[in-house]
Every structure is written in C-alpha cells, then in structure tokens.
Structure 1
Amino acid sequence: MNELNRRQFLKAATLTGTAAGLSGLSGLTLADNAEDKKLILPDNSLNGVLGKPHMPAKAKRMIYLFQSGGPSQMELFDYKPMLNKMHGQEIPSEVRGDTKLTTMTAQQTSLPLVKSVFNFKQHGESGAWVSELLPHTAKVVDDLCFIKSVQTDAINHDPAATFILTGFPIAGRPSLGAWLSYGLGSNNNNLPPFIVLLTNQNKGQPIFARLWGNGFLPSIHQGVRFRAGKDPVLFVNNPKGIDRHDRREMLSYLSKLHGIQYAKTMDDEIHSRIAQYEMAQRMQTSVPDVNDFSDEPDWVFDMYGPDSRTPGTFAANCLLARRLAERNVKFTQLFHRGWDHHSGLPGGIRQMCRETDQASAALVADLKQRGLLDDTLVVWGGEFGRTSYCQGKFTEKAYGRDHHPNAFTMWMAGGGVKSGMSYGETDDFAYNVTKDPVHVHDLHATIMHLMGVDHERLTFKYQGRRFRLTDVHGKVVKDILA
C-alpha cells in the first residue's frame, strides 16, 4: 500500500470530510453506483489555474518563431555604417570593456571589426533598416516592433536557449509555453494548448525536448510535438484491432482505476495522466484535420513560398501555425536551426534567410488579412546575437562571428504590441546597449502581460519555494505596448 506524506494526509483528510468536499475538488465527482464510489477524474486539467487572466489580455494566443543558433543582428536588422568605416581595425578597448569571451575567440591575439557584406535600405513608413537578405520581411516592417536591445546572461548555446525559453539557464524549469498553459489553460479542448513544430533539418545546434518541457508543473502542460508525415503525434492512433468504442471503454475503466489510486495517494499528477489519455483520443480527429492542407488554395501556398507544400519545412510549419491559431491553440512554438555562423557566415545566413524570410513575413500578413493578428502575438528571435569583431580570418565569403549576449535584435508583431517601431539602441558597433535595455526577464514579463498574466502573481510552489517564470526579476516594457 502506498504511504501518504504529511501534506497528502492533510489533503486526504480534507477531501474525505464530506461528499460535498469530494465533488467540489476541481470538479471531481462520486460514481452513482454504490459499488463504484471511488473518485473518477474528469478531463478538467485544460482549465488554467487562474480561472481568468489577471488583466484584459491583448493577445489570446502566441506564435514563437525561435531561430536557434543566434542570428547576426549586424547582417539583418541593426545597420552599423561604422563597421564599414573601421573594417579590419581592432575593436576599441572602451567598447569591448570587460565582456566575457567564449573559448573560441578568447585565444585570438586580435579581434578585428568586420563589416557586413550585405546592403541595407530603409523600408515602410516607419523607415526601418532591413538587410537585402530579408526582402519579404522588409514588406511587413510597418506591422513589426523591432527590439534592438535584448540582453541575456548566457554566452553558450545550451544555457542561452534554456534561459530564453524557460527563464533559467539550467535545465529543469518549466518552459514559457508550459507556464501559459498552466495559468491560462486551453481555448480548444480538442487540441493541446502548447504545440511544438521543428523544421526537418540535419544541421544546427541540438534541440532538446526539455526546451518545451513542463519542469515541475503538472505534465499536462508540456509542449506536444507535431511531426511531419502520416503520424504527426506519436501513439495517438489506435493499435490494430482497437476501434474508437474499444478505446472509449478502456479510458472509462482506466479513469476509475486512476480514481482509486488518487484516493490512496492524493497525487495530482494522476489528473494529468488521465487528461492526456482523454486528449489523445480527441486528437485522433482534430490532428488529421488541422494537418490536412488540401483546403488551402494555391495563392496561400504561393504566399508562404514553394517549401510550404513540403511537410516539415519552416514554411509548412508557419502555415500550420496559422491553422492552429485559427483553432485557438494558446501557444505554438516553431524551432529552426542553423543560425550558428562561426565561419562561412555570408553563405550560411543567406541560406537561413531563404528558408525563413518569406514564410515569417507571410505568417504576419496572413494573420492580419484574416483578422487574427490583433489578438495573436508573434515573436521572432534566437538565443543571443553575434560579435561585431571577426572570428578567425576575414574573407568576403568565409568570415564568421562569435556568440554575443550583450545586445541582439528580436521582433514582435500583433497581440497588443505597437507596430512600425524600433525600440532600444546599440552603440556604433552593435556591441553594447546604449538605450532602453530589454533583458530576457523583461521580455518574458512583457509577453505574460500581453497574454493577460501578471508575471509576479503566476507562481508554483515546489520544494518549499514559490517559483515563477521571471524568478525574482523582470519588468514589463510598457513603451512597446499599443
């Protein structure tokens, strides 16, 4: 027999005081049959712990386009003519300061500044500077809010990606999507509130499932990965010889068994387990529907680009993200690897932009034309930026840049964010923030605010301490709020 700890004992004592207490706990009910007077767990885990947002939400859903590897801000958005003038000269000591270097450049005897080989122009009524690498993004700049002063604490990929996606550089904390699922619940009972899409690639930094994990939150809040192909979600379809009726009957009995176990242990994870089984059955219908692009007209595929017809590409995932937004999925996260250019940057970043530019811009434009952008928050960015000095030897085709956490660029669109603006500034070398720094914790606080959540009030008690996404930091960047 399972033994109860002190907390579970007190919880059990409270629950068993009266039948009303049992029926009032998160919607738990007693079976009508006297023989089956055990706790039966309904699928109530899709309701957020907050019940309703702390404040009116500007964004009902979010799509996060995560560019893994660290896109170079100097080649894309942060135009710096001074780098052209001082190309090949040593980075000034007063600019470099005491910045920590990675082991890849710490041994270099010289750190020469390197220009971008790509041209920049101003676009839109906002006059935003955008590189020639991003012709499609250039067309939607008046719908974007560029944040050019993002800062992080980590200088290497794994801790930096973990930090920007979970609020902490060491693995084990809940991801951003898990926190939103935990706090706000789901808008669609037939699809998970947190869905993850990875571009089919063989290159780039490793992507680990813990980046969309639930950490210490109930497991129902972890991201569900959709894969390209006939079985987008593993183990959802019935085994051979099992039909929907059999599945339903099995789940009913399984729910009763879980109820018996819950009555003994008071383990809240049992709620998540049965909720996931129930969700899996509903997804047997909803997942094939959302992944079936046959109802999309040709002009939509043309809008997202030719890759959108190939499942598993970034373009196809952007189109799928729009379809999920139409179905009110709370949080969709796309991962695209390959932005880590320590050498061969010109060719490498050109290829990355070919794969992502058109689809990213199309997603914003498509959401807007369907009336979804106003309440859908779109975020684009990587885990850090790149250095203004060269890693290794410079050539026009093969120069590289190292990791740089001090200053990098991200953009946001829709969902209560001001459009057609740039926020924050860096120095003439895109090396240090000179105006309006935005730390990762501030970014998270702002995202939560736009989703209607006070980042200081959404907490979870674990091992005697109350945790939150922003830890003990973070402030809302009010100047970018519409």
Structure 2
Amino acid sequence: MADRMMNNVATRRELLRTAACGFGSLALAGMCARESQADIANPLVSRRPMFTPRAKRVIFIFMQGGPSQVDTFDYKPLLEERHGEKLAFRNSRKLAKTGMSGEESVMKSPWKFRRYGECGQWVSDLFPEIGRHVDRLTFIHGMHTNGVAHGPSTLFLHTGATNLVRPSVGSWITYGLGTENQNLPGFITISPSSANGGPRNYANAFLPAHYQGTAIGRAERPTSEARIQHIANSQLSDDVQQRQFELLRGLNREQIAHMPADDELNAVLSSYELAWRMQQFTPGLMDISEETRATQSLYGIDQKETEDFGRQCLLARRMAEAGVRYIQVNYADNGSNPRWDQHSKIERHETHARATDKPVAGLLADLAARGLLEDTLVWWGGEFGRNPFAQGADGRDHNPKGFTHFLAGGGVKQAFSYGETDEFGHEAVVDKVHMHDMHATILHALGLDHEKLTYRYAGRDFRLTDVEGRVVHEIFA
C-alpha cells in the first residue's frame, strides 16, 4: 500500500487498530520523569515514612466469615464445665430481636486445646501447624468491632466505615508510602470475593485512582487460574510494541507539557506507564513453577485440600519479596455464605482449618527463612468472631464483641498475648482493641501516624481511623 512505511514500521491506521490489544500497546515510557521535566510524575514512587518504621510491607490473611475464637485460639475451660447450661448473655441477639430473656445454651468446643511452644500458648487441634509457630506470634484476644452482619463488619475491617464509601486499608498505605517496586502495583488482593463489600474492600474511594488495589483472580475460581487480564499482547511483536511505545511517549510528553496541573490526565498516563512495566515483569512473578518442590510442599501445594490456598500464600510471599507494599490473601466465598460462617454444624470449621493451616504456617516459615519476616507484618483474622453459646443444635452466631487476631513479624513481640475476653469468651474485657485501634497499629508499624495520614475531600480531612483509634504500643518489641 502507498501509505505503508518501510522496515515494518506501524502505520497510523495500524496503530489505531491495535492500540487496545493489551497493556503494552497503550503503555508509556518507563520512569519518564527521570528523563525530562515534561514527563509524567510517578504517584507511586516510594515515599519516606513519617517516623522510623518497623515494617516495610503488610500481608493480610483474611478469614472471611468469622472464625470462632473459642474454637481456635481463645481457650475457655469453663465452656466444657458448663456445657448445656442456660445462661443470660448480655446483649445477645435473641434479646435484641425478640425481647426474650437472652438465655442461651453454653456450648463447648468440639476440639481439644493444647499448649504449644515455649510460651505455652493454647491452640486448638484445628491449627496444629500454626501452633508450631506460636513463639513467633502476637495474639490479640480482646478484639471488638462495629457491625453484627458480614457486610457491614467486612467493610469496617477493610475501610474503617460501615455505611460510607471510604478508601481501603491498602489504599491508605500506598497513598502514604507508595510502592517499593515501580514495576508492580503497591496494593494487590488475591482471589477477593465479590460479596460483602466486594470491590469496595480494595477500592480507593475518593483517593486518587493510583491507589486502588489490583485484584488477581476471583474467590469463586481456582487460584491456579488467577491472572492479570491482558498482561500480554500476542498480536504484536516486541519490536513493534517498542516502536509504538516510543511514539506514544513522545506524544504524551508533548501533551503533558501543556497541561502539567491536570491530575486526572496524569493519573491516566501514569497508569499506562505502570501497565507497560507490568507487562515486562508480572508474568514471571505469577509463575510459581520456578519454586522448588520443597517450597511448594511447605505451602501444601502438593496436597488437594491445601493446594488452592497454598498457591495464594506462596504468591503473597513472592509479591512481598518483589516489593509490593500491601498484599491481601483471601479465604473467601463469592456468595452470601462466607467460608467460616457456621450457624449450624460448627464442625465444618475443620474443613476450613485444614485448607488454611499448613499454607499459613508455610508462609510464616518461608518468610522467616528468607529474612523477610523482620520487615513484613503478617496479619491474620476475620471480620468478627462467634458466640460461646449454641445457635440451634450445633452452630454459633456472629460475635463482634470479642474475638482474636494474630500478628507476626514487622517488629511485634514474639510469643506474646494481649487482651482478654470474659471467662466464656463472649466479650472483650481486658486491654480491649477496637478495629480502629488495629488500623492505627498497622499504620504505626509502617511508620505512619494515623492521625496525620489524611486526605482532604468534601470539605473535611478524612483518615482511615476517622476520629478514633489508638496505637497498641504494648505489642511492639
């Protein structure tokens, strides 16, 4: 054709036709700002923390549905002693809903508890593998939160609010610190659920779009199928993509030079630039076949019941090693009945514990062996706990008043427990830790002051902890 240029250079018509085929076709120059004042500023550049941090990154292991504290890590011998007795529990849902006496049947745990480690922490038979790591962990037994249903409590866990569209924890962290690796997003969530908050659990809300979480996979699909969509362009050669890349770099340099204060344009162009870098780097990151058989076995990838969650935990380690700032691993369902939500047949907790126990223990061991646990904060927990009394014959209802999370690495104390629930495990009573306090403490570990990490929106300064929250200094070494 007359308008075709020689040496396989793409024509304008071909460029327009192929520009939507993959990230590489739209991508800008890598780190243009280093080369010209007219280039695009990088909003995810690594920033200095407000004070000396204990951790550089966070891995949050989300147990959706509310694992029962009295069946896992909060041992209460009185449940066995008084099993079957009718007792009045303050603020029980029966009292709230019906005006009845609130008397409930005490229910013991189906599982035995044993002491683990030099610290002698009680752990039930649900989690023998995690039990072997208790000397690395800080257990927070006095957790309490807002919301009694999954949707509000899950949103509160992720965003610090139950009814407003607010930025998620990972978005606040990347807003405050950027990312360690300019080839990857600062915030990645693996196999998130579309229910109980869905994308709002990793959304940026009113923060700039750069800080939205990048979802890899979906809860209803196997982790082995998890991909970043359109990360590769099979229709064009690397050479042609590079030529298009150089052309677009020049065009965008010229455009941004005439409107440098346009934040929306900067956001779009910087996202294209990140997409280009991800195309070169991410496929290798997602390929766990590079790991040894011993490492894959450590995470349980060689066993059917642990294979899926083991993949998630191994991907989390690879992302932490690569410099992703905030990584969320989701043990979640894409539906109205989350995994740990046993309103009947509490024995089903065992299925979920078997699926997650070895992978989580493998992650802790692997991080420690690689020296990553020192500056990586691992956070495990659900949106709330469960009641110490029976729902129906053999289930447990939601309990936001007292439950357990645990932390590891990132400067927290080892072999340590903080806070207590009452003698039945129903309500936090000693050294209580609200979810706002947990958020403030996570930010503190990263060198961020939760009261100063703010964003001006709609006439006020917003923050993750709203107008509450305290740092639990007692848990740090």
TM-score, normalised on structure 2?
0.85
2:477 is equivalent to residue 478 of structure 1: no
Judge which range, 250-259 or 183-192, deviates more. Answer: 250-259
Q: What one-letter code is carried by the residue in structure 2 that aligns with 1:321? A: A
Distance 1:133 1:205, change over 3 A: farther
Tell me the residue number matched to 1:62: 58
* SS in structure 1 of the partner of residue 344 of structure 2: coil
Tell me the residue number matched to 2:90: 97
Tell me the residue number matched to 1:283: 278
Distance 1:129 1:310, change over 3 A: closer
Cα displacement string for residues 193-228 of structure 1 (whole angstroms, at most 9, x for unaligned residues): 1011017x9xx9556111011011011101111234
Tell whether the 8 Å contact from 1:308 to 1:319 is kept in structure 2 after alignment.
no
Q: What one-letter code is carried by the residue in structure 1 that aligns with 2:210? A: I
Cα displacement string for residues 90-120 of structure 1 (whole angstroms, at most 9, x for unaligned residues): 233xxx2235569889889852111111100
Cα displacement string for residues 404-450 of structure 1 (whole angstroms, at most 9, x for unaligned residues): 10000000000010010111011111011221000011101111010
> How far is 1:477 from its partner?
0.4
Distance 1:331 1:446, change over 3 A: same
Ranges in structure 2 where 5+ consecutive residues have no aligned partner: 1-30, 218-222, 333-338
Distance 1:377 1:242, change over 3 A: same
Residue among 181, 200, 203 paired with 1:213: 203
Task: Provide the C-alpha distance between the structure 1 equivalents of 2:94 and 2:428, rounded to a whole number of angstroms.
Answer: 17
Judge which range, 239-248 or 353-362, deviates more. Answer: 239-248
TM alignment of 1:31-430, pairs within 5 A? 40-47=38-45, 51-92=47-88, 96-98=89-91, 111-198=104-191, 206=196, 208-227=198-217, 228=223, 232-238=227-233, 240-241=235-236, 243=238, 244-249=241-246, 251-252=248-249, 255-256=252-253, 259=256, 262=259, 266-306=261-301, 313-337=308-332, 338-346=339-347, 348-392=348-392, 394=393, 399-430=394-425
Task: Provide the C-alpha distance between the structure 2 equivalents of 1:307 and 1:115, rounded to a whole number of angstroms.
Answer: 34
Task: Provide the C-alpha distance between the structure 1 equivalents of 2:385 and 2:277, rounded to a whole number of angstroms.
Answer: 41
Q: What one-letter code is carried by the residue in structure 1 that aligns with 2:249? A: S
> How far is 1:374 from its partner?
0.7
Distance 1:42 1:155, change over 3 A: same
Tell whether the 8 Å contact from 2:188 to 2:214 is kept in structure 1 after alignment.
yes
Distance 1:101 1:218, change over 3 A: farther
> How far is 1:271 from its partner?
2.0
Tell whether the 8 Å contact from 1:41 to 1:258 is kept in structure 2 after alignment.
no
Judge which range, 247-256 or 62-71, deviates more. Answer: 247-256
Cα displacement string for residues 1-34 of structure 1 (whole angstroms, at most 9, x for unaligned residues): xxxxxxxxxxxxxxxxxxxxxxxxx997998xxx
Q: What one-letter code is carried by the residue in structure 2 that aligns with 1:157? A: H
Task: Provide the C-alpha distance between the structure 2 equivalents of 1:310 and 1:40, rounded to a whole number of angstroms.
Answer: 53
Distance 1:258 1:354, change over 3 A: farther
* SS in structure 2 of the partner of residue 145 of structure 1: strand
Task: Provide the C-alpha distance between the structure 1 equivalents of 2:371 and 2:98, rounded to a whole number of angstroms.
Answer: 47
> How far is 1:245 from its partner?
1.4
Distance 1:86 1:268, change over 3 A: same
Judge which range, 168-177 or 126-135, deviates more. Answer: 168-177
> How far is 1:89 from its partner?
1.4
Cα displacement string for residues 448-482 of structure 1 (whole angstroms, at most 9, x for unaligned residues): 01000011111000011000111111111011011
* SS in structure 2 of the partner of residue 452 of structure 1: coil
Task: Provide the C-alpha distance between the structure 2 equivalents of 1:134 and 1:312, rounded to a whole number of angstroms.
Answer: 17
Q: How much is the aligned-residue C-alpha RMSD, in angstroms?
A: 2.7
Tell whether the 8 Å contact from 1:73 to 1:385 is kept in structure 2 after alignment.
yes
Q: What one-letter code is carried by the residue in structure 1 that aligns with 2:382? A: G
Q: What one-letter code is carried by the residue in structure 2 that aligns with 1:126? A: C
Cα displacement string for residues 306-329 of structure 1 (whole angstroms, at most 9, x for unaligned residues): 358999821101011111111121
Q: What one-letter code is carried by the residue in structure 2 that aligns with 1:458? A: L
Tell whether the 8 Å contact from 1:188 to 1:328 is kept in structure 2 after alignment.
yes
Cα displacement string for residues 114-165 of structure 1 (whole angstroms, at most 9, x for unaligned residues): 1111100011001100000111001100001000000101111111011011
Q: What one-letter code is carried by the residue in structure 2 that aligns with 1:220? A: H
- Across the two proteins, how many residue pairs are aligned to each other? 434
> How far is 1:230 from its partner?
6.7
Tell whether the 8 Å contact from 1:304 to 1:362 is kept in structure 2 after alignment.
yes
Tell whether the 8 Å contact from 2:91 to 2:102 is kept in structure 1 after alignment.
no
* SS in structure 1 of the partner of residue 231 of structure 2: coil
Distance 1:231 1:470, change over 3 A: closer
Cα displacement string for residues 340-398 of structure 1 (whole angstroms, at most 9, x for unaligned residues): 1111210x210100110001011111100111101100000000000111111x2xxxx
Tell whether the 8 Å contact from 1:70 to 1:382 is kept in structure 2 after alignment.
yes
Q: What one-letter code is carried by the residue in structure 2 that aligns with 1:213? A: A
Task: Provide the C-alpha distance between the structure 1 equivalents of 2:254 and 2:418, rounded to a whole number of angstroms.
Answer: 55
* SS in structure 2 of the partner of residue 306 of structure 1: coil
Tell whether the 8 Å contact from 1:71 to 1:384 is kept in structure 2 after alignment.
yes
Distance 1:108 1:208, change over 3 A: farther
Residue among 434, 441, 445 paired with 2:436: 441
Task: Provide the C-alpha distance between the structure 2 equivalents of 1:230 and 1:69, rounded to a whole number of angstroms.
Answer: 24
Tell me the residue number matched to 2:5: none
Ranges in structure 1 where 5+ consecutive residues have no aligned partner: 1-25, 32-38
Tell me the residue number matched to 1:4: none
> How far is 1:238 from its partner?
2.7
Task: Provide the C-alpha distance between the structure 1 equivalents of 2:295 and 2:99, rounded to a whole number of angstroms.
Answer: 48
Distance 1:258 1:408, change over 3 A: farther
* SS in structure 2 of the partner of residue 313 of structure 1: helix
* SS in structure 1 of the partner of residue 110 of structure 2: coil
Tell me the residue number matched to 2:19: none
Cα displacement string for residues 32-91 of structure 1 (whole angstroms, at most 9, x for unaligned residues): xxxxxxx9442411125xx41111110011100011101100110111111111111123
